[in-house]
Homo-oligomer: A and B are copies of this chain.
Amino acid sequence: MKTIKAYVFDAYGTLFDVHSVIKQCNKLFPNKGDELSQIWRNKQLEYTWLRSLMGRYVNFNQVTKDALVFACKSLGLSLDFSKQEILMNEYLKLKDYPEVKNVLKQLKNNTRVIFSNGSQDILQPLVKNSGLDQHLDAILSADDVKLYKPHPASYTHVLEKLQLKREDILFISSNPWDIAGAKSFGFHTAWVTRGKKTMDELNQSPDWIIQDLRGLLEIT
């Protein structure tokens, strides 16, 4: 896209499959992997929103741990320290979706950055383990402003870091609420559906809807 100066990617669910934890969940808690992963992710998101609203920020690593504790309690699964370590460690090696690396390479004439709720302590190892660090110019985190997406202060952080204007940004996320937040803020937005069918009813529509990142190569 000619007027775009930077591609800004959400990380969890967009570049990385948060549900790649299912395999290890199933090893520790047989047949509970799908359900555990689902509750874990849902609560992780809820806690980012609730803590931002309450004014009780803790970083994404802690939120993720808290959500795991909740998920296990709610399913009656006994999470000891060792199991917690094993599962939290999975968050540092989530799989990147198959097309991601190749598409990032092809976008190399533009600035390519991650903007994530993830704190650097878990985001940097993840990006490094996946090898995506070779194809990214920066990793930005909402942790710097202690307010999670979709709070406008979080998206503002991207502009300050990149020294760009809202209309210079194409923001890419698979999370409908994140797309709504970014669009409401004034970014151009591409919703990567990744199999999801239903956009959130927040009165904000994505500018583009693509199935995976290869769709970005068609946006001109």
Which of B56, B67, B202 is A51 in contact with, Cβ under 8 Å?
B202
The reply on A91 being an interface residue by CB < 8 A is no
- Asked if A201 and B69 make an inter-chain contact with CB atoms under 8 angstroms apart, the answer reads yes
Q: A177 — which chain B residues lie within 8 A by C-beta?
A: 46, 50
User: For the side of the interface on A, what is the size category?
Assistant: 20 to 34
Q: Does A200 contact B (CB under 8 A)?
A: yes
Interface presence of A180 (CB below 8 A): yes
CB-based contact B54/A201 at 8 Å: no
Residue pair A54, B200 in contact (C-beta under 8 Å) = no
Bound CA–CA A187/B50 (angstroms): 17
Cβ–Cβ contact A53 & B201, under 8 A: no
| CB <8 Å contact, B66 and A201 | yes
Q: Mark A109-148, 1 if CB is under 8 A from B, else 0.
A: 0000000000000000000000000000000000000001
- The residues of B that contact A200 with a CB separation of less than 8 Å are 43, 46-47, 50, 70
User: How far, in whole Å, are A70 and B202 apart by their CA atoms in the complex?
Assistant: 10
Specify the chain B residue showing the minimal Cβ separation from A178: B50
CA of A54 to CA of B49, assembled, Å: 10
Contact with B along A50-66 (1 / 0, CB 8 A): 11111110100000001
Contacts of A184 in B (CB 8 A): 54, 56
CB of A180 within 8 A of CB of B54, answer yes
Interface centre among A70, A184, A201, A203 (most CB of B within 10 A): A201
Contact present for A202 and B151 (CB under 8 Å): no
A126 to B134, CA, bound (A): 58
Q: Mark A182-220, 1 if CB is under 8 A from B, else 0.
A: 001000000000000110111100000000000000000
Task: Provide a sorted-by-A list of 22 A–B residue pairs whose CB atoms are within 8 angstroms.
Answer: A46-B46, A46-B49, A46-B177, A46-B200, A47-B201, A47-B202, A50-B177, A50-B181, A50-B200, A50-B202, A53-B150, A54-B151, A54-B152, A54-B180, A54-B181, A54-B184, A56-B202, A56-B203, A66-B202, A70-B200, A73-B197, A74-B198
